[in-house]
Structure 1
Amino acid sequence: MKDGIPPTRRSAGRPTREQAEARLEELLDTALDLFLEHGFELATIEMIATQMNMTKRTVYAKFPDKAALFLAAVQRAIERQIVPPEDLRKLDQGDLRETLRAIGHQRIGLVLTRNGLRLQRIINTESFRFPNLLMLNYNQSGRPVTEFIVELLEREISRGTMRSADPMLAASVFLSMVVSGPVRQIVAGIPPEAEEIERIVDFAVDVFLDGMRVR
């Protein structure tokens, strides 16, 4: 208190913008967990609202229906998996083999996170109901990585160290080689040990480069 005047206080009835954003994040996280646990069909707005200590009316004020909430929760999970372009550039070590190894480890590492694992599992289980999930994830999270690899390959092709080939196809094949196996194990709940991941990444990179080198 100063000069007998009590300090002003923010009204307790209306949350700040930061509080509202944090509450929305919590809602989307909770929704994704419950969609994973019960499936889209059995998870309900009432179930999610109860878990959040919200009313259904509050949830419906933010999302018109369950599908909209589901897609928003998946979208937020995808956004958390996006690697900023500047971070991708930092993986370029000048040596193609080492750069591809770094990319492989990064992609696998992202799936090992809680968010990455939840995202992969929800895509696997609900893609039949929401066919656009795969492309939604690829366009935002996967495509920038593929295009970065394309740039690396085009650089080597222009130098004459790699045979001329479709770089987009080659980049897609590389990511499938290095990531698909470990990701299947991770999603199944039996993640490979660090040494096994190292062995898989090294082998995939070497096989890929051997196939792409000029003879």
Structure 2
Amino acid sequence: MERKTTPKSRLVLQAARSCFLELGYDRTSMDLIAQKAGVSKATVYAHFESKEALLYGLIEEEFEIDGPPPLWDPNRPILDITAALTDIAHRFTAIFLTDKKLGFHRLIMTNASHFPAIAEIFMNGGPRRHLEEVRTFLERGIDAGLLCIDDLDLAAKQFLSLVQGDLPLNWALSMQPPEPGRYEALIKGGVRVFLAAYGATRKE
């Protein structure tokens, strides 16, 4: 889809965001989006040829403009591997703890089977990007003599699984996130287990 960046297209996207997140894709009509944006339906179609195009535009924008921040700063040296991994885990799990992200996740999950390209946008903007960031960090940790890993891809997946626990399941089921103390314990335990397996000083 060719991206639209006019002021009116921004109004339409903002209206679509509000309607999709509040009512869902199926219950939202182009008439409702036009009404919410304060423009005619013809104006909506002038910028987005269909409701599907609006959905794609909204999700693309979410990851391009307001996507998750980097998990770590590659310009900073790794001085404390435990602290660095803990910081990455906090940045990663923060994604699962906001109502806004919950709403977008629900929107994507309920429509991905009908619009496969949405799943690709989501995977490229979120999970695949995070895995690559963690993989690069782990590689840096190996170079610094802090980690001992044979399969970087596997280790990156294991790390993210350890520190996220059941947060994605809570998210998918629209359940409330755990109390801060619970996911702090999850992060600390996940980092500890990961380093027991891959730390350079682990016991063979």
TM-score by shorter chain over 0.5: yes
Name the Cα RMSD after superposition.
Answer: 2.6
Higher mean C-alpha deviation, range 36-45 or range 62-71:
36-45
In the alignment, which residue of structure 2 is the partner of 1:73?
58
In the alignment, which residue of structure 2 is the partner of 1:196?
182
Matched, 1:146 2:108: no
Aligned partners of 1:143, 1:94: CA distance in 2, in Å? 26
Matched, 1:169 2:154: yes
The alignment-based identity, stated in percent, is: 28
Cα 1:107–1:31 shift into 2, 3 Å: same
The correspondence of residues 50-89 of structure 1 with structure 2, limited to 5 A, is: 50-79=35-64, 80-84=66-70, 88-89=73-74
TM-score, normalized by length of structure 1? 0.77
Letter paired with 1:201: I
1 or 2, which has the higher helix percentage? 1
SS of residue matched to 1:81? coil
TM-superposed deviation, 1:84: 5.0
TM-superposed deviation, 1:199: 0.8
In structure 1, list runs of 5 or more residues that go unmatched: 1-17
TM-score, normalized by length of structure 2? 0.81
Task: Assess if the C-alpha contact under 8 Å between 1:32 and 1:74 holds in 2.
Answer: no
Say which one has the larger Rg: 1
In the alignment, which residue of structure 1 is the partner of 2:164?
179
In the alignment, which residue of structure 1 is the partner of 2:89?
104
Deviations 1:136-171 (CA, angstroms, capped at 9, x unpaired): 123123433322221222233345543332212211
In structure 2, list runs of 5 or more residues that go unmatched: none
The aligned length equals: 195
SS of residue matched to 1:57? helix
Task: Assess if the C-alpha contact under 8 Å between 2:89 and 2:163 holds in 1.
Answer: yes
